[in-house]
Amino acid sequence: MDYVEIAVPFFLLALLLELAYGKLINKNTYKLNDTISSLFMGSLRGTSGILKIGFSGYVYYQIETHFALWRMDSNLWITWIFAFVAYDFFYYWFHRFSHERQIFWASHVAHHQSEEYNLSTALRQTGTGFFISWIFYIPLFLIGVPSYVMVSVGTLNLIYQFWVHSRHIPKLGWYELFFVTPSNHRVHHAQNDLYIDKNYGGVFIIWDRLFSTFQEEQDDEECVYGIRGAIKTFDPVKANIHIYQKIFKDLSYSISVRNFYNVLTAKTGWCPDGSSEGSSDESFDPTTFTKHDPDIKPFTKFYVFVQFLCMAYAAVVLLADKNLEYDHGVILIALVIFSMFCTSQWLDAKKIMHLEYLKLVGILIGLCYLYFFSPEFFLLNILMIYFFLNIIFLPFLRRT
């Protein structure tokens, strides 16, 4: 059972409570631009997850049906305990590879780009992780863990990881020895020389202690969040593809088979010219680090928030409507992605009126298709409302 859909409303409630608590004690850890960017990426991940379910689900089904050594009984509690612990073990190795090897880092980097650290960071998920993450869990199907149990423990693992993305919770004594906590996960998200590439566990920190990747948070070394070689944008599309762009660029310069192989499999940041751009080997000085935080006008912030609400609603429609026609889904996803891209440009304080006009043209094309070729009056009404909403904002945006 996928428990994440049930948990999402509680995630959002917890996010609001953390925001209110931070304001109350004058230690707010949220910024509108960063939070909106994180939630945009969470929405993208939700829609791209449909592809993962389709492809990996087929592979898992074939393995479970034809290649599993035996089948564990899902009615036994020992099966669930074993699956929960074993899943986290394989998650540790997936997570470690996702930091230490370039092609895996490309699909994970989006989660680490936030230069803040709060519960919205937990929702900042990659939209391309479905490419390779599923490979690491094949052994569990081979040894007979039922798919129902796998989905259940996998989502429970993900839900556990939500609460550790907080700066307000201190160290938790003996609990720190065995489990992932906000303190040791803050270390994981930091780019300090002392902290980088540490603490990969999802639920249990014991894997890091066993395999020498554990680092305790130090009182005299404040965590500096983000990635080395920061992209300096809130664009969720750029966030998801910029490492892939670097890989393809490096591949074009790789004149030998060895270099071609290394670009894909070498340590994160490896380049054919011998440099280490964006890797843990790159020099980092926390005293000179500055966050990407462009100043934008209050009206622009309001517009961005309205756009976020529209995109969130569209994402809910995509995930909730199990009978949505394929072509309707393509139209909605395309408009959502382009609208997110446009909105992120406003967060970056860029002048993009030409993109706003292009977005209106895209909405009109979607409306025409839905009206003339594939009538769907529910989506038609949604797009009409969204179209006129954007029209209303246009004159005000031109003044900004």
Domain residues for the domain of 383 are 298-399
Domain for residue 229, yes or no?
no
- The one-character DSSP state at 135 is G
Nearest CA-CA partner of 346 in 292, 397, 290: 397
Farthest CA pair distance, the chain: 67
Nearest CA-CA partner of 42 in 135, 105, 119: 119
Domain for residue 86, yes or no?
yes
- Are residues 243 and 337 located together in one domain of the fold? no
- Are residues 307 and 277 located together in one domain of the fold? no
- Are residues 62 and 190 located together in one domain of the fold? yes
What CA–CA distance (Å, rounded) separates 87 from 331?
36
- Are residues 254 and 379 located together in one domain of the fold? no
Angstrom CA distances, 355 to 36, 227, 304, 333, 340, stand at 19, 28, 14, 17, 11
Position 281 confidence tier, pLDDT thresholds 50, 70, 90: low
- Total domains, the chain: 3
What CA–CA distance (Å, rounded) separates 145 from 259?
39
- Are residues 95 and 123 located together in one domain of the fold? yes
Q: What is the mean pLDDT of the chain?
A: 89
Distance of CA 133 to the CA centre of its chain: 13
- Are residues 310 and 342 located together in one domain of the fold? yes
Domain for residue 215, yes or no?
no
Residues 199, 156: contact at Cβ < 8 Å? no
Angle between helices 147-162 and 32-62 (to 10 degrees): 160
Query: What pLDDT was estimated at residue 178?
Result: 98
User: Which of 92-96, 115-119, 204-208, 239-243 bottoms out in mean pLDDT, i.e. has the lowest?
Assistant: 239-243
- Are residues 49 and 80 located together in one domain of the fold? yes
Domain for residue 227, yes or no?
no
Domain for residue 216, yes or no?
no
Domain for residue 180, yes or no?
yes
Domain for residue 120, yes or no?
yes
**What are the structure tokens assigned to 90, written together?**
């394989």
- Are residues 63 and 168 located together in one domain of the fold? yes
| pLDDT tens-place string over residues 104-141 | 999 899 999 999 999 999 999 887 766 778 889 999 99
Query: What pLDDT was estimated at residue 78?
Result: 97
pTM: 0.90
Read off the pLDDT of each residue in 379-388 and give the average, rounded to a whole number.
93
- Are residues 270 and 183 located together in one domain of the fold? no
| pLDDT tens-place string over residues 127-179 | 776 677 888 999 999 999 998 999 999 999 999 999 999 999 999 999 999 99
Domain for residue 267, yes or no?
yes
